[in-house]
Structures are given as structure tokens and as C-alpha cells.
A and B are shown apart, each in its own frame.
Chain A
Amino acid sequence: MYRYVINRLLFLIPSVLGVIFILFLVMSMTPGDPARILLGDAASQEQIAELNHQLGYDLPFLEKYGRYVYQVVVHQDFGVSYFTKQSVFEEIWPRYIVTVKLAFIGVVLSSLIGIPFGIYTAVRQYSLWDTIPSLIAFFIAAIPSFVLGMLLLYLFSLKLNWFPSYGIESFTSYIMPALAVSIPPAAINLRFTKSSMLESIRQDYVRTARAKGASESTVIWKHALKNALLPVVTNVGMSLGNLICGAVVAEKLFSIPGIGSLIVDRITYKDEPVIIAGTILISVCFTVVMLLVDLIYAYIDPRIRAKYARVKG
């Protein structure tokens, strides 16, 4: 088991190297250059070439890649932003925390809303308690998340004036972005939990448990739910990717200083150090979460635990 975790963590190294490589590759295909954007149209060709040289932008693709990796690994330095001239790490870290917070709230909230409703709708299949939440979830799954965010903004900030419509000054300003981020994945969680639960309720072991006279709550909670939760856990982990997408949208919509919106803004400026460092942080976070999901999986399911144990021995 430990060996497995260590292996997975070690895989982070090639993974991050690969991410940097892909990003440099995509960036090298991009037209335009940072110096042109920084100096404006009035600048002469020589000035632009000189600034690009200073920034290290004009290096060949592979050399740039090599230097960047060297700089990060040996000096633990993410470089300096082309655009603001500030240390990239200092610039992105606080924003990274904001986004991670938002995504974390999103994971928790969407699970807390989606999973219980999913269980309930499955247990009460075909009743009104199934139809109404399922229908709502069905429509939410078909609405773009930014429209949902816009509606929230309109209703709670502009009409009712309950929550601030931008920034993250206080606790209350987190409420709306958190809702905007977690409602769409909550709908997906509901649908997913419901179908997983329905499948598990029809299994033989549930019938056996009923036949042996176990109470309805024991059957649902101990026999059906335990097995139904496995795919749900994976789904929650996988939804992190969507949550980051949702976070970018929410950051834009509610003007929150997060890392997603920063990267979106800097892509137009070709601010390579910020884009690459930001993406590395996000993908490391993503990989670690996926590892956690696998570990939780093994914790819940003894069959998987047994498999790891055998590999180890």
C-alpha cells in the first residue's frame, strides 16, 4: 500500500515535466509575442527584439524548456512575470489559495446536496419525491453554469441585495460563487448517485438481506449504499476538473481574484511564466486529489484493498 502511494507520488515528476512540455509546445505555436504587447504598436522592431531577448522569450523551444525546468528544480524559482515584473510565485500563490478554497467548497457542497438527494430519489423511485428533484437536476444539467451564475447574481445581488456581487472581502461574498460553483456538479452527483443506488438496490444481496428480515434502513444504509457509493466517490473526484472550469467562470462572473481568471487573462498577454506556473499548481493539486480518491476507494472497498496487499506481497 505504501509502495503504491509512493509510486503514485513519484509519477508526479514525469507528469509535471510533461505538463510543462505540452504548455511550452502550445505556447510556441502562439502568434504574437509579449514584448509587442508590453511596448505597444509604436515600438520599433529592434526594441521588441531586445526586450524579447531580455525576457528570454526568443530562445528556441527546447532550450527554453530545459532552462525553465532547471530554474524550477535547482533554484525553486518560478521566474518573473513578463507582464507585472513581479515574482510569479508571490503573485499566484494567494490567488491559488482562493481558487482551491472555492473548488473545495464546491466539492463539499455539491456532495452534500447531490448525494443525499440521489439516495432519497432512488429509494422513493417514481414518487413525487423522486420526480421533482430528478426533474430539477435534469434541467440544471442542461443549463450552462455561467447562466446559472448570472441568474444568481441577478436575483440575490441586484434584486434582493443580500450578498455582494463581487470580490471576497467577507464570508458572505463566498456564498454566491460557492453556490454557482456547486449547483451544476450537485445535479450531476444526484443523477449519478441515483442510478448507482438503483442498480445496487436490485442486486441479489439486497434481496437476500430483505429476505433475512433486515430492517429497511439497514438494507438501504448498510447493504445498498455501501456498494453504491464506490462509483460515486470516483465521480466526485473526477468532477474536480469540472469544478476548476466552474471556478474560472465564477471568478470571472463575480470578479474574484483567483488563479483561473488570472490564467485566462494572462493567456492573451502571453505571460508564459504565470500561465505555466499556474497550470502546474492546478495539475499537481488535481493529481493529488485523484490519488486521494483512489485511496478512499481502497478504504471503502475491501476487494480493492486486498488487490493492493497482494501486489505488495
Chain B
Amino acid sequence: MRELRGDLMENAISQTDSATADKIVFKKQSQAKEVWRMYKKNKGAMIGLVLFSFILVMLAGANFIVPYSAATKGVFSQINQAPSAAHIFGTDSYGRDVFARVLYGGRTSLLVAILATMSSCVIGSTLGAISGYFGGKVDGIIMRSLDIFMSIPDILFTMAVVFALGANFQNLLIALTLAYFTNYVRLVRSQVLTLSEQDYVEAAKAGGSGSTRIILSHILPNAMGVIIVNTTLNVAKIILYESTLSFLGLGMPPPAPEWGLMLAEAREFMRAAPHLLFFPTMAIVVAASSINLIGDGLRDALDPQLKS
């Protein structure tokens, strides 16, 4: 709304005498800037952002830090070594460098989490928007099917899908998307239901805009805040969920470096080599909590009333 008002005022000013317009210093602040201003004030959120950027830089630059072969090729003489100067996170039960595995594993884990979140967001939001905007029979069909779908516990469904299609990167993505898109349907639907009653939607309808246009350019932009916050928090949830799947033997297939898989493998060596458990756990905790901090910060910045 603020933006809209700004535009109107700007138009008004440009229409008046240009001489007067020059004197008025019009400071238009975009919503993104405003959000960033609020976000910067939040210490925890900034810590989260710095940590997460650090993780991203480390993962992106992994090739410059350790070669990929260190993560996959083990040295038999160096099994389960405690952290040392040569292997700062130690080595695992195949003699592979844990540090390298954490780095390259992070790529897989984060990529799966981010892609799965995105696809579930797109599919779920589309269904939610259609359901909420059109209401009636469409809404009934979508929501009832969703109820059925949701009465199967996520974990069982994901397992069945991963097993049916085979465990690899792409199928993991499909399974996670199927498990998480339902949240977005409900979320976006409830947002659309409230936003559809706003005056500006009424105005757009009266102006003759079509449904697609109203949803895309009037309703969704206003629901964006809630969607962004949820998407951020979802990435952290999926990282944890993904590792649980790996633990149950349904994540990425074994030789690949992946955080959950590393933890599942570490289980046997809990006593002999606790560092195998410690470092991947820390990686997950740092990644998930920094994302959670960012999400909380965004929520506070987007909706100051809900600040907690």
C-alpha cells in the first residue's frame, strides 16, 4: 500500500508545476528498503545472515579448500582418526576426510532443501490461491483431497515414494515436495481468503481485471511476506527431515557425502569416534539455526506487530 501511495503522490507531483516539484524533496522508500532497515536492527537476525552467508561461501568455494576426492576416496591406513592438523575434523570409518565430507555434503543437503522448498512453495501456493480465490466447488475438491492426502503421515508417504521411485537426488526432491506442499496450500488459501475481501481487490474487479491478474498482481504480492517467512523456515525443517530420511536409509545413496547419511554412518562408531557424530551435527545445527534466525528476523521486519 505504501508503495502505491508513493506512486500516486509522485504522479501528482510530476503533474504539478515542475518548479515547485523541484523544491519538494520527495523521499520514496521502497518496501524492500524498509524491511531491510527493520531487519538490520535485529541482532539475532544479522548473526543468522552472517552465519548463513559464511556457510554459503564455504560450500560454494569447497573446491578451493579441499579437493572432492578427499570426500569420496578413503585412505585405509587412516580410519576413524581424531581431528588433527592434516584432517581438522578427523577421518571416518573409510578413512575419508570428514571436513571435506561436511563441505560437499552440505552442498547436497542445502541444494535439496532449497529446491524442495521452492517447488513445494510454487505448487502449494498455486493450489492455495486457486482454492481460496474461486471458493465453492473448486475449493471443496482441492481441500477435501488435501485432507485425505494429509491424513497419511508425511514420513510414511515420503518413504513409500522414495522407495517406489528409488533413492536418488531427483526422487528425494519429489518426495520432499509432496510432503511439504500441503503447508503452502493451507497457508496461501487462508491469506487469499482474507485478502480477497480487501477494497483494492474489489476495485480491481470493478476495473475489469481478470482473475489471474487479480491473483498475481493484487493478492499474492500482499501475501508475499507470510510466504517468504514460511519458505525460509521450511528450508531449515527440510534439512532436518532430509537427515532423518537418510538415517532411515531412504535419503541419498551411500557413497555420496550428505549430512544425514554421515550421521547414520556415525551411529556404529558412537563410542570409538564421537567426532563423526559431532561435526555433521554441528553443521546441521549451524545451518538450520542460522536459517531459523533469518526467518524470525524476516517475520519481525515484515510484520512488526508480531514481534516476539
Measured CB to CB, the residues of A under 8 A from B are 11, 14-15, 18-19, 22-23, 26-27, 29-31, 138-139, 141-147, 150, 154, 158, 194-195, 198-199, 241, 244-245, 248-249, 252, 260, 263-264, 267-268, 275, 279, 282-284, 286-287, 290
30 contacts across the A-B interface (CB closer than 8 A) = A11-B144, A14-B148, A15-B148, A22-B148, A22-B157, A30-B164, A31-B164, A143-B240, A143-B285, A144-B240, A144-B247, A144-B260, A144-B281, A146-B243, A146-B263, A150-B277, A199-B306, A244-B155, A245-B153, A245-B241, A245-B244, A248-B248, A249-B244, A263-B156, A267-B160, A267-B163, A282-B153, A282-B156, A283-B152, A286-B153
Q: Looking at B148, B150, B288, which has the most chain A CB atoms within 10 Å of its CB?
A: B148
Q: How far is the CB of A225 from chain B (nearest CB, A)?
A: 16
A147 pairs with B163, CB closer than 8 A? no
A154 CA to B272 CA, complexed, in Å: 12
Among the listed B155, B270, B288, which residue makes an inter-chain contact with A154, where contact means beta carbons less than 8 Å apart?
B270
Q: Which 10 A-B residue pairs are closest in the complex by CB-CB distance?
A: A18-B148, A142-B288, A245-B155, A142-B289, A283-B151, A195-B308, A30-B164, A244-B153, A144-B243, A29-B164
Would A241 and B154 be within 8 Å (CB), given that A142-B285, A249-B244 are in contact? yes
In the complex, what residue of chain A is closest to B264 when comparing beta carbons?
Answer: A146
Among the listed B149, B153, B163, B285, which residue makes an inter-chain contact with A22, where contact means beta carbons less than 8 Å apart?
B149
Among the listed A27, A144, A150, which residue makes an inter-chain contact with B164, where contact means beta carbons less than 8 Å apart?
A27
Q: How far is the CB of B165 from chain A (nearest CB, A)?
A: 7
Would A142 and B163 be within 8 Å (CB), given that A147-B281, A195-B306, A264-B248 are in contact? no
New A-B pairs, 19, CB < 8 Å, besides A22-B157, A245-B154: A11-B147, A14-B148, A18-B149, A23-B152, A30-B164, A142-B236, A144-B240, A144-B247, A144-B263, A144-B284, A150-B270, A194-B308, A244-B155, A245-B241, A260-B156, A267-B159, A282-B152, A283-B152, A283-B153
B30 sits at the interface (CB 8 A): no
A264 pairs with B292, CB closer than 8 A? no
Contacts of A26 in B (CB 8 A): 157, 160-161, 164
Contacts of A31 in B (CB 8 A): 164, 166
Q: For the complex, would chain B's binding face be called helix, strand, loop or mixed by DSSP majority?
A: helix
Contacts of A284 in B (CB 8 A): 151
A264 pairs with B151, CB closer than 8 A? no
In the complex, what residue of chain A is closest to B286 when comparing beta carbons?
Answer: A142
B18 sits at the interface (CB 8 A): no
Instruction: State which size class the interface on B falls in.
Output: 35 or more
A252 pairs with B306, CB closer than 8 A? no
A279 pairs with B152, CB closer than 8 A? yes
B248 pairs with A252, CB closer than 8 A? yes
A264 pairs with B159, CB closer than 8 A? yes
A194 CA to B307 CA, complexed, in Å: 11
Contacts of B288 in A (CB 8 A): 141-143
Within 8 A of A (CB), among B56-79: none
B160 pairs with A23, CB closer than 8 A? yes
Q: How far is the CB of B281 from chain A (nearest CB, A)?
A: 5
A268 pairs with B163, CB closer than 8 A? yes
A199 pairs with B308, CB closer than 8 A? yes
Would A19 and B159 be within 8 Å (CB), given that A146-B244, A194-B308 are in contact? no
Within 8 A of A (CB), among B153-179: 153-157, 159-161, 163-166
Among the listed A29, A249, A283, A290, which residue makes an inter-chain contact with B247, where contact means beta carbons less than 8 Å apart?
A249
A138 pairs with B248, CB closer than 8 A? no
Within 8 A of A (CB), among B266-300: 267, 270-271, 277, 281, 284-285, 288-289, 292
A207 CA to B120 CA, complexed, in Å: 41
Among the listed B144, B155, B240, B306, which residue makes an inter-chain contact with A248, where contact means beta carbons less than 8 Å apart?
B155
Contacts of B20 in A (CB 8 A): none
Q: How far is the CB of A177 from chain B (nearest CB, A)?
A: 15
A29 pairs with B165, CB closer than 8 A? yes
Q: How far is the CB of A217 from chain B (nearest CB, A)?
A: 22
A241 CA to B150 CA, complexed, in Å: 9
In the complex, what residue of chain B is closest to A275 when comparing beta carbons?
Answer: B160
Within 8 A of A (CB), among B71-117: none
Contacts of A147 in B (CB 8 A): 263, 277, 281, 284
Q: How far is the CB of B18 from chain A (nearest CB, A)?
A: 47
Contacts of A27 in B (CB 8 A): 160, 164
Contacts of B243 in A (CB 8 A): 144, 146
A286 pairs with B285, CB closer than 8 A? no
B244 pairs with A143, CB closer than 8 A? no
A11 CA to B145 CA, complexed, in Å: 11
A144 pairs with B277, CB closer than 8 A? no
Contacts of B159 in A (CB 8 A): 263-264, 267
Q: How far is the CB of A276 from chain B (nearest CB, A)?
A: 10
Interface string of B247-268 (1 = CB under 8 A from A): 1100000000000100100010
Contacts of B154 in A (CB 8 A): 241, 245
Contacts of A146 in B (CB 8 A): 243-244, 247, 263
Contacts of A23 in B (CB 8 A): 152, 160
Contacts of A282 in B (CB 8 A): 152-153, 156
A143 pairs with B284, CB closer than 8 A? yes
Q: Looking at B156, B164, B260, which has the most chain A CB atoms within 10 Å of its CB?
A: B156
Q: How far is the CB of A250 from chain B (nearest CB, A)?
A: 11
Contacts of A158 in B (CB 8 A): 270-271
A149 CA to B148 CA, complexed, in Å: 31
Would A279 and B163 be within 8 Å (CB), given that A11-B147, A144-B260, A144-B284 are in contact? no
A31 CA to B263 CA, complexed, in Å: 28
